[in-house]
Chain A
Amino acid sequence: MAQTISRSDSRGRVKPLRRRTRELPWPANLYQTAVGKKYVMAITGIGLLGFVVAHMIGNLHIYQSPLEINEYGEALRDLGGDLIPRTFLLWLLRVGLAGMFVIHIHSAYSLARMSETSNERYERKQDYIAANFASRTMRWTGPIILLYLFFHLADLTWGWWLGDTYLRGDVYHNVVESMNSVPIAIIYVVANVALAVHIYHGTWSLFQSLGINNPHYNAARRGFAVGISAMILAGNLSFPILVQVGVIDEDDRTTPPAGSVEHEAIAPLSATTVLEVRS
């Protein structure tokens, strides 16, 4: 006679929550299991982390001069030089990044779904010891970062709300224009805190997921995660904060940047023209 225990099969054994699907050919089969998905998540995480770090470091050009940051932006479009069509490599990077984003998010979503169906909550709140704020908020900081990404693109790439004040190619100007607004600066601060928190757990976690593990350096993994997220936090927060306190502004952009002759594309974007446009 079958037992009356629910969630059990005819022999009284607990039924699996999910059945294994047919194995796909390599390497798609890696993505079929949670451990494989975590692996993919870690790899895409590394890619995205690399982007965030490079983006942050690149943005530091803003502290050199308006010209430097604008040149930097231009250089990105010119990646690959004359060998390939202009912006081709940049678009390739953009598509790659977008792809990594999609995979990262999709794996996160399906892993979260899997855990949800496996979990049952305690009546009395669980008293966590190791699970920290960062690890438990990954599923909140993740979507925040996604929303922030769109916001950031709309703000500084598409110039949705800067409207006429948005100048294509004048990165410095757009940044100052945007972050001068207090609400926008707050959004940047909040989002970047979320990003750092996300990166803190992600960076530690990716060593686990990839199985990079050796007693010789295991202790350094936490330190590495703290270091990298602190660096990103400090770099990225500096922009809105320093714009707000007025360290970064356009008051000094009265003379055309030196050497602008060689950079015809950005030559008109001197402070005077900007001011003209604004008035």
Chain B
Amino acid sequence: MINLDSKVPDGPLADKWDNHRFAMKLINPPNKRKFKVIVVGSGLAGASAAASLGELGYNVDVFTYHDSPRRAHSISAQGGINGAKNYQNDADSIHRLFYDTVKGGDYRSREANVYRLSQVSVDIIDQCIAQGVPFAREYGGLLANRSFGGAQVSRTFYARGQTGQQLLLGAYQAMAAQIATGKVTLHNRSDVLDIVTKDGEACGVVVRDLLTGQVSSHSAHAVVLATGGYGNVYYLSTNALACNVTASWRAHRKGAAFANPCFGQIHPTCIPAGDEFQSKLTLMSESLRNDGRIWVPRDIDESRSADQISEAERYYYLEEKYPTFGNLVPRDVASRNAKTVVDQGHGVGELKNGVYLDFADSIGREGIDVIRERYGNLFDMYERITGEDPYRQPMRIYPASHYSMGGLWVDYNLMTTVPGLYALGECNFSDHGANRLGASALMQGLADGYFVLPYTIGDYLAPKLGNAAIPTDDPVFTEAVAEVDTRTRHWLSKSGTKSADHYHRELGTVLRDYCGMARDKTGLEKALSEIPAIREEFRKDVKVLGSADGLNQSLEKVNRVDDFMELAELVVRDALDREESCGAHFRDESQTDEGEALRDDDNYSYVAAWEWKGPNQPQELHKEHLEFENIELTQRSYK
């Protein structure tokens, strides 16, 4: 039975983290080296955690399925990272970032966690600068900032359109320094396929070496998952192709509650799909909305090119509907409105599946050089993909699955419901509620890795001083290894007919149709009946060739799709359960007269944490009720 104790410390909001840091048990430096910690994933959260733990003296084993830690998908984040520095003198503060984040998340996040996130956001910027992250600067040598969706202040730090890359390099380099000292051991091309528990506590992982196919186990005093999000459950998403839910899902099956799975963010500015062979949707940074104006032709039969359409014939729907925030409304609002106008037939492009993002005005105002400096690499990328020049004609954009606010349930210490098992970054559910603000993912990943976990893990480990890690010849390990090996190999013995991709595509289509930007009961129920059928068909009919004793990308993929098949059902079940609209979760049944998301705070102000009850058994819902002591719940309005 799962106990959802959030362990939020007492005291005034602003003092909670300080109080908690004082109350936590400590391990003295020489004793830290008696502990071993496993970190799964080498993105922002994983690399920063591994580096910080190594610096503290812990022995760290890092696992990544990539060839190099630097390839983790954090690298693709473009726009920036928030920090409540108030460098722009525009009345920003820790409290305002906290407020914006809770409000942006439509009041479905935990106040104390978000406040702590805002507090450490300031330290993250300092830390990154010290590591040599080349953030954009003003001529005086001071840091530059820009504004971002969902905020009225400029608090976003950025490194061209490659902020994620630069922050990841910073964290990776910090980790590389620890690898060089031997405190951190890197296991690349190692796919973590199961979490091992003994007496209910996490004690290690089962790993498949992707080069040799060999399955082995690794043991530690604690296991930290930093494995990212599950946006790829939609098949088409902005995630990298290898992003998967496997480690989190296996943790879920071992007892970790999975929270708010239906909160999946749809990013408003992506390049629309061109064809059915398309393997992914490419994101164009949200920062483009700072200078681009979004519009569609008023006439649904419009066939002229953009430059021939006069101002009066253009429908700047965000600016008209939301005069205050205009093109900078939060992502969910921007996405849903794009869907609305496209559904109404205003869409642009050959398939009429996009909206315009137009830079003509800013190029006229600021000059082409300024725009090129800000967004040059994004414009180039757009041109490479579409063959169209965004300096001359507006970009076409459309929303795509992007980020998972949902994930493993964690308490204030970032521990899941399995003792000793932590979840960091996108793979936990913690800070973004029902919708994440732009430039906050990088912030959260680094906050968790640099400034939260290194403190909280000590509190768990301290009483274990003197206990050796469970040896890997313990039956819990040998059985887990055998199970993983059998599970992996059994795919090869099938005489199926279709690829894992084929079934993944089918699954994604169902999810996008019924559990995408807008959901309703009928559609969700339909999805709930279709998904198990696809899963059964997949398990019977999938075709995998090659061997399990060496590199085999199809074999890696099939394992991942298998877990997506189970997750998809939970996503839909969660969406069905939540009969309100909030943030990214928009139920058609629950909207205001103006078509905005209508929350039901009386009945749904909770985190839905689902407990695994066994294969083909519906998960059990547990609720962590959210208390808001410092923020008054309002209907979000960005008008």
Contacts from A to B (Cβ < 8 Å)? 1, 3-5, 12
Q: Does B495 contact A (CB under 8 A)?
A: no
Report the Cα distance A3→B551, complex, angstroms.
12
Q: Does B209 contact A (CB under 8 A)?
A: yes
Report the Cα distance A5→B211, complex, angstroms.
8
Kindly list chain A residues whose C-beta atoms are within 8 Å of the C-beta of B209: 3, 12
B185 to chain A, nearest CB (A): 9
The 5 lowest CB-CB distance pairs between A and B, nearest first, are A3-B212, A3-B211, A5-B211, A4-B212, A1-B214
Kindly list chain A residues whose C-beta atoms are within 8 Å of the C-beta of B214: 1, 3
Report the Cα distance A3→B216, complex, angstroms.
13
A interface, over-half SS: loop
Report the Cα distance A1→B481, complex, angstroms.
15
Residues of B177-230 whose CB lies within 8 A of A: 209, 211-212, 214
Report the Cα distance A1→B212, complex, angstroms.
10
Report the Cα distance A75→B214, complex, angstroms.
78
What are 11 A-B interface contacts by the 8 Å CB criterion?
Answer: A1-B214, A3-B209, A3-B211, A3-B212, A3-B214, A4-B212, A5-B211, A5-B212, A12-B209, A12-B211, A12-B212
Report the Cα distance A250→B212, complex, angstroms.
79
B549 to chain A, nearest CB (A): 9
Kindly list chain B residues whose C-beta atoms are within 8 Å of the C-beta of A12: 209, 211-212
Kindly list chain B residues whose C-beta atoms are within 8 Å of the C-beta of A5: 211-212
Smallest CB-CB separation from B190: which chain A residue?
A: A12
Kindly list chain A residues whose C-beta atoms are within 8 Å of the C-beta of B211: 3, 5, 12
Residues of B214-263 whose CB lies within 8 A of A: 214
Report the Cα distance A5→B213, complex, angstroms.
12
A105 to chain B, nearest CB (A): 37
B244 to chain A, nearest CB (A): 23
Kindly list chain B residues whose C-beta atoms are within 8 Å of the C-beta of A4: 212
Report the Cα distance A3→B212, complex, angstroms.
7
Smallest CB-CB separation from A1: which chain B residue?
A: B214
A3-B209, A5-B211 are known; give 9 further A-B pairs, CB within 8 A: A1-B214, A3-B211, A3-B212, A3-B214, A4-B212, A5-B212, A12-B209, A12-B211, A12-B212
Smallest CB-CB separation from A8: which chain B residue?
A: B211
B49 to chain A, nearest CB (A): 22
B interface, over-half SS: loop
Kindly list chain A residues whose C-beta atoms are within 8 Å of the C-beta of B212: 3-5, 12
A172 to chain B, nearest CB (A): 63
Residues of B452-501 whose CB lies within 8 A of A: none
Smallest CB-CB separation from A4: which chain B residue?
A: B212
Smallest CB-CB separation from B216: which chain A residue?
A: A1
A144 to chain B, nearest CB (A): 43
A258 to chain B, nearest CB (A): 69
Report the Cα distance A1→B217, complex, angstroms.
12
A3 to chain B, nearest CB (A): 5
Report the Cα distance A205→B211, complex, angstroms.
40
Report the Cα distance A1→B209, complex, angstroms.
11
Report the Cα distance A12→B189, complex, angstroms.
10
Smallest CB-CB separation from B214: which chain A residue?
A: A1
Report the Cα distance A54→B196, complex, angstroms.
77
Report the Cα distance A5→B214, complex, angstroms.
13
A37 to chain B, nearest CB (A): 26
Report the Cα distance A59→B25, complex, angstroms.
86
Report the Cα distance A3→B209, complex, angstroms.
9
Kindly list chain B residues whose C-beta atoms are within 8 Å of the C-beta of A1: 214
Report the Cα distance A210→B232, complex, angstroms.
49
A8 to chain B, nearest CB (A): 9
A9 to chain B, nearest CB (A): 13
Smallest CB-CB separation from B550: which chain A residue?
A: A4
B143 to chain A, nearest CB (A): 25
B91 to chain A, nearest CB (A): 41
Kindly list chain B residues whose C-beta atoms are within 8 Å of the C-beta of A3: 209, 211-212, 214
B396 to chain A, nearest CB (A): 33
Flag B128-139 by CB within 8 Å of A: 1 or 0 each.
000000000000
Smallest CB-CB separation from A12: which chain B residue?
A: B211
Report the Cα distance A42→B62, complex, angstroms.
44
Smallest CB-CB separation from A5: which chain B residue?
A: B211
Report the Cα distance A232→B214, complex, angstroms.
63
A2 to chain B, nearest CB (A): 9
Report the Cα distance A3→B214, complex, angstroms.
9
B67 to chain A, nearest CB (A): 11
B242 to chain A, nearest CB (A): 20
B351 to chain A, nearest CB (A): 36
A109 to chain B, nearest CB (A): 34
Report the Cα distance A4→B212, complex, angstroms.
7
A10 to chain B, nearest CB (A): 13
Report the Cα distance A4→B551, complex, angstroms.
12
Smallest CB-CB separation from B189: which chain A residue?
A: A12
Report the Cα distance A259→B209, complex, angstroms.
89
Report the Cα distance A1→B211, complex, angstroms.
13
Report the Cα distance A9→B248, complex, angstroms.
32
Report the Cα distance A195→B209, complex, angstroms.
54
Smallest CB-CB separation from A3: which chain B residue?
A: B212
B121 to chain A, nearest CB (A): 37
Smallest CB-CB separation from A2: which chain B residue?
A: B212
Report the Cα distance A3→B189, complex, angstroms.
12
B625 to chain A, nearest CB (A): 49
Report the Cα distance A243→B211, complex, angstroms.
68
Report the Cα distance A84→B450, complex, angstroms.
72
B442 to chain A, nearest CB (A): 30
Residues of B590-634 whose CB lies within 8 A of A: none
B141 to chain A, nearest CB (A): 20
Interface centre among A1, A5, A12 (most CB of B within 10 A): A12
Report the Cα distance A12→B211, complex, angstroms.
9
Report the Cα distance A12→B209, complex, angstroms.
10
Report the Cα distance A122→B209, complex, angstroms.
29
Report the Cα distance A155→B211, complex, angstroms.
62
Report the Cα distance A90→B238, complex, angstroms.
72
Smallest CB-CB separation from B185: which chain A residue?
A: A11
A73 to chain B, nearest CB (A): 60
Report the Cα distance A12→B212, complex, angstroms.
10
A12 to chain B, nearest CB (A): 7
Flag B285-320 by CB within 8 Å of A: 1 or 0 each.
000000000000000000000000000000000000
Report the Cα distance A3→B211, complex, angstroms.
8
Report the Cα distance A3→B213, complex, angstroms.
10
Report the Cα distance A5→B188, complex, angstroms.
14
Report the Cα distance A12→B214, complex, angstroms.
12
Report the Cα distance A5→B210, complex, angstroms.
12
B105 to chain A, nearest CB (A): 43
B26 to chain A, nearest CB (A): 33
Report the Cα distance A131→B212, complex, angstroms.
38
Report the Cα distance A5→B209, complex, angstroms.
12
Report the Cα distance A152→B212, complex, angstroms.
60
B95 to chain A, nearest CB (A): 46
Report the Cα distance A4→B209, complex, angstroms.
12
Report the Cα distance A210→B214, complex, angstroms.
48
